[in-house]
Structure 1
Amino acid sequence: MAMSPGFKDDLLATIPNLRAFAVSLTQSADKADDLVQETLVKAWDKHESFQMGTNLKAWLFTILRNEFYSQMRKRGREVQDSDGVMTERLAVHPSQHGLLDLKDFRAALELLPEDQREAIILIGASGFSYEEAAEICGCAIGTIKSRVSRARSRLQQILQISGEDDFGPDAISSQVMGSNAA
């Protein structure tokens, strides 16, 4: 449907009234200007739904009011995060680092003697107590504790782990993610 010749002129003539109404709703000239602009864009896009002979001003005010309420609902679901604190808490480290670390750990685990590997898997991965692991392996509790201790030390050597900073992302990833751990 073709746009009527007077539609554009009538639309432009309503802008001061739309802006005044928008300022009363938003309490901000900048937000009001954005709201009026969005209203005009929607009205222009939907001009074919306007019925000539009806009240254009009322139609535009309805669009503006509905857009305002839509924006308010949207803002109600949004979280203000101007300093980035919320975003930083939501950020996750790239998963490929974890996958690579797991691959390295599995390879290091395979390098352990069988008795140490069995002990550390029972205690560390399966969650058995030292007593339960000793019973499963048929040896003394002290033997299991010794095997687990030697296995942990050997894994640290193989994986070149010297402290807590060696876990998680590398220094560059930590800086990018905004972490203070680097």
Structure 2
Amino acid sequence: MTLEPDLRDDLLAAVPSLRAFAISLSGHVDRADDLVQDTLLRALSNLHRFERGTNLNAWLFTILRNLFHSQYRKRRREVEDPDGSYASRLTVQPEQGARLDFEDFRTALSTLPHDQREALLLIGASGFSYEEAAVICGCAVGTIKSRVNRARSRLSSILKVDATEAIGSDPVIRAALHTAR
């Protein structure tokens, strides 16, 4: 790509001001130099969008500012970890345990009487209040509470758990087995 000599001179003349602006934005000379370089590359690749006769410096400063903010947003989500110590501390719960827990839960849930399973799913999994579940099932609130309690007790017995902490991280299972204190 060949540039007109006047345009090339204007771009080169803008570099010191761009660099000073980039340093003031980033606070780091190395980042500022990279930012100026990226600005010039972007300007050259989009030179066809620049309207001749308008303010070249304003256009360049706008590009630099936009690049800085884009990099800032990206950098905000990143963690500097040059020695890998942060990455070595990251852990992820294995998925297979939760899947196995859920399958055991589904199997145990299918053994419950229909009215208990329905009440438990309305309260524990769907998030309805006892009053709302009573209206849905067409029975008294006390009946719903009793069905949920019996269902939770039976599931705890089938799954051989004494506390919801013994079950994996699946929120549906935790909600269904959660006992009122």
Query: What is the TM-score when the length of structure 1 is the normalising length?
Result: 0.50
Considering only CA atoms, is the larger Rg found in Structure 1 or Structure 2?
A: 1
TM (norm. structure 2) is 0.50
